[in-house]
Amino acid sequence: MDDHRQTSLGPDPDLRKEAAELGADPEMIELRAEAAASAREGRLPADQDRRDQELQADAAAAAEQKRQRRYLVKALLRSPTFMIGLIILLFWVFMAIFSTSLTQSYTAQDAMSSLKPPSAAHWFGTDDLGRDVFARMMAGARTVLVIAPLATALALLWGSIIGLVAGFWRGLTDDIIMRGIDVLLALPIIITSILILSLFGKGTAIIILTIGILFTPVVSRTVRAAVIGEREREYVLAARLRGERSSFVMAREILPNIMQPIIVEGTVRLGYAVFTAATLAFLGFGLAPPSPDWGLTIATQRVFLQIAPWTVLFPALALASLVVAINLITDGLGRTFSK
């Protein structure tokens, strides 16, 4: 990298010529030449060596940047909030992918050993059909870790587009969009999703779409606020003076500068999406048995809460740990970046 720059700067320029071009007066040229000459002998940085110095400064700046980035990563790694959240999340992601080959079968029924308390054979006990609660708890991460992130991603995508358009155009467009958003925001999320799911049937894809749509208004409000803060900034005005299309200004000029609020909004929504997905499953609008989904499991097992609390307790714990982990990550990120 440095070598490349050095060659691009060309050979060492004649100091006097350079100074004369700058229009310096002769006395100064003499002084500088004198300083440079004696500096060269003493191998000291002087005016003539300024370019080398600048290259060094440049390298130092690059190093400093790298150092800062490393510092941020280190600070994150040292932040207990972030690390605990990350470890829990990674654990669930790992389990969602690999648990089926690591644990007992989560579907194998054993009528003989139904509702057995935790034991060596069944660490977290068994449910009413004699299925292993531990295996089901681990496998249950899969559905929620598919539904919640995809729904959040959809909400972010739509919300960003709507927010950008409303915030950038303002005026009548903004009024119409935002009144629509207000109406959507007034709808209770669970009841509306139940309505949609009753109309269009159940299924992972429909659940994802439903949660995505219902989270879009909140995201679009956040994005719109960020866009309004950005659109009067001078670089946007400069783009308008360049004759850029609105779509270019929105996507290329403004969007990269509002990624931070969008990411924060995304992590917050992710936590809510997990909850919403579990709630819908609990209410019977998610996946059908024998899916090991946590919300569904809690719903089907809750009648045994008094005689076999482990059947409900462990999936509930799993759900709580995932939501807490996501919130910890959000907090950790926020705190480290604001330092």
Partner 1 sequence: MSTVEDPQLSGDAAALDVRDLEVSFHRRGRRLPVLKGITLKIERGQAYGLVGESGCGKTTLAMAAMRYLASNGTLDNGRVLVDGQDVSELSEEALRKWRGGKVSMVYQDPTQALSPAMRIGDQLAEVYHYHEGMDKKASLEKAREALRRVAIPDPDATLRRYPFELSGGQQQRVVIAMALAVNPQLLILDEPTTGLDATVEAEILDLIEELRGRINAAILLITHNLGLVVRLCERVGVLYAGRLVEEGPAKQVFTDPRHPYTMGLLRCVPRFGMNKTDAALQTIPGTLPALGEPLEGCVYSARCPMARPVCMRREPDFFAWPGDGPDKGRQEAEKLPPDPAAFSPHHAEPVGEAERHVRCYFCAETPHMPHMTPVLATSLEERGAHEADVLGIDHVVRTFKDGRKQLTAVADVSLNLRKGETFGLVGESGSGKTTLAKCVTGLIPPDSGTITFEGGVLKSTAGKRSREALRAIQMVFQNPDSTLNPAWSTRAILTRAVKKLGGAKAGSVRAKVDKLSADVRVEPRFLFQKPTELSGGQKQRIAIARAFAGDPTLVVCDEPASALDVSVQASILNLLVELQTNEQTSYVFISHDLAVVRYISDRIGVMYLAELIEVGAAADVFSPPHHPYTEALFSSIPRLDFEEQKDRIPLRGTMPSLSNPPSGCRFHTRCHRFLGDICVNEVPPDQDVGDGHTYRCHIPPDELRRLQTAKDQGPAAEAEPATAG
Shortest CB 338 distance to partner 1, Å: 13
126: helix, strand or coil:
strand
From 31-39, 190-198, 217-225, 280-288, give the range in contact with partner 1 by CB under 8 A. 31-39
Are the CB atoms for 153 and 326 separated by under 8 Å?
no
Exactly one of 33, 35, 190, 264 binds partner 1 (CB under 8 A); that residue is 35
Exactly one of 87, 94, 108, 240 binds partner 1 (CB under 8 A); that residue is 240
Nearest residue to 319 via CA among 286, 277, 269:
277
Exactly one of 12, 13, 14, 38 binds partner 1 (CB under 8 A); that residue is 38
312: helix, strand or coil:
helix
Provide the residue type at 317 as one letter: L
Exactly one of 7, 11, 22, 306 binds partner 1 (CB under 8 A); that residue is 22
The encoded tokens of residue 182 equal 């207000």
First to last CA, the chain: 31
Q: Is 256 in the site for partner 1 (CB under 8 A)?
A: yes
The DSSP code for 252 is I
Nearest residue to 106 via CA among 118, 122, 90:
122
Shortest CB 222 distance to partner 1, Å: 19
Q: Is 45 in the site for partner 1 (CB under 8 A)?
A: yes
Binding mask 55-84 for partner 1 (x = CB under 8 A): ---x--x---x--x--xx------------
Exactly one of 3, 7, 11, 23 binds partner 1 (CB under 8 A); that residue is 23
Place of tokens 């299309």: 245
Residue 229's H or E segment, with its range, is helix 204-231
Closest to partner 1 by CB, 176 or 237 = 237
Q: What angle do CA 136, 301, 304 make, to 5 degrees?
A: 130
Residues that bind partner 1 (CB under 8 A): 5, 8, 22-25, 27-28, 31-32, 34-35, 38-39, 42, 44-47, 53-54, 58, 61, 65, 68, 71-72, 233-235, 237-244, 253, 256-257, 339
